[in-house]
Amino acid sequence: MTIRFTLNGRPVALDTDPGRRAVDILREDLGALSVKEGCGTGECGACSVLLDGELKLSCLLLAAQLEGREVVTCEGLGDQDAPHALQVAFAEHGAVQCGFCTPGMVLAAESLLRENPDPDREDVRRGLSGNLCRCTGYVKIVDAVQAAARERRGGRRKK
């Protein structure tokens, strides 16, 4: 069956089993390797994507459900040449350790900032509460999200 959707702004037409998981087709067929599979049961947030702008878990979505939708992964926010403010803030604040959880964290943060441009630390913790980091580096992640939020609101980035 052919499934058509948009991935990071580009149209995709993929002939596949509609019962495969979205995380598998994104990684294996489409090379979106920022999408990680951690737990595979919706508990770690590493496979997060934005589906029509909403934060969802690609390990709990089937390929068929992507039909006609818009999928954004961390690759779609920015790349090394033109990084997104959150990606810059994560790098500058050392909010990455092994990096496995980072793409999911960045997407959860992006989703939070779209709803709440000026989150306090508790809001950030709650916004990222579905994302686990086994390196236990949450403090710097919260710092990074707040810094990116400040920048997005028009503040200068501290250099």
Partner 1 sequence: MTRVLLPATLPELWEALAACPEAPLLAGGTDLLVRLRARRQRPEALVGLERLAELRTIRRQGRGLRIGALATHAMIARHPLVLRHAPVLARAVSEVGGPAIRNMGTLGGNLCTASPAGDSLPALAVLEARVELLSAGGTRLLPLSEFLLGPGRAALAPGEIVGAVRVPLSADFQVQHFEKAGRRAALAIAVVSLAVLARLEKGMVAEARLAVGSAAPTVLRCPEAEEFLRGRRLTLSALERAARAVRAAVRPIDDARASAGYRRQVAGNLLLRLADL
Q: Which residues bind partner 1 (CB under 8 A)?
A: 1, 17-19, 21, 40-43, 45, 48, 54-57, 59-65, 67, 108, 111-112, 126-127, 129-131
Beta carbon nearer to partner 1, 42 or 117: 42
Distance (Å, whole) CA 32 – CA 46: 13
Distance (Å, whole) CA 103 – CA 27: 13
| CB 97, min distance to partner 1, A | 20
Beta carbon nearer to partner 1, 89 or 109: 109
Handedness of CA 55, 117, 10, 78 (dihedral sign): negative
Show the beta-strand stretches assigned E in 16-145.
48-51, 54-57, 70-72
97 C-beta neighbours (distance < 10 Å), count: 15
| CB 67, min distance to partner 1, A | 7
| CB 56, min distance to partner 1, A | 6
Beta carbon nearer to partner 1, 42 or 155: 42
